[in-house]
Amino acid sequence: MDKSKEKKVMTNDQQVARFAKAMGNPTRISILLFLAKQESCFFGDIFNVLPIAKATVSQHLKELKDAELIQGTIEAPKVRYCINRENWKKAQQLFADFFTELKDTNKKNCC
């Protein structure tokens, strides 16, 4: 199999960290919130909502796409973006499980 097409299987911890890293920027959170309210939208729609440079928007979209929280399809000459609903649900469940586990193990204050 072509190595570029192989997908690495991630543990839940690795997946939570990957999603958290992608979501660890206020601009990316704004993009996710904007896209979550849309069926889909073009790059220009996102750019018009956010008061930052196009190159910066592109970089944030790339990070979210690399984490598979969003997906994009080329409709030349534009790119249409939307939430990756399958991974969005997965992220919700992983974070819920993560915080539930922390709550259950944190019986006493450490300080």
pLDDT in tens, 14-65: 999 999 999 999 999 999 999 999 888 888 889 888 888 999 999 999 999 9
pLDDT value for 107:
63
For residue 87, the enclosing domain spans 11-95
Flag whether 1 is in a domain.
no
pLDDT value for 109:
62
Residue 57 burial (CB count, 10 A): 19
Domain CATH number, residue 46: 1.10.10.10
pLDDT value for 76:
87
Flag whether 106 is in a domain.
no
Helix H or strand E encompassing 27: helix 26-36
Q: What is the DSSP letter of 66?
A: H
Q: What pTM was estimated for this model as a whole?
A: 0.80
Flag whether 105 is in a domain.
no
Flag whether 109 is in a domain.
no
Flag whether 30 is in a domain.
yes
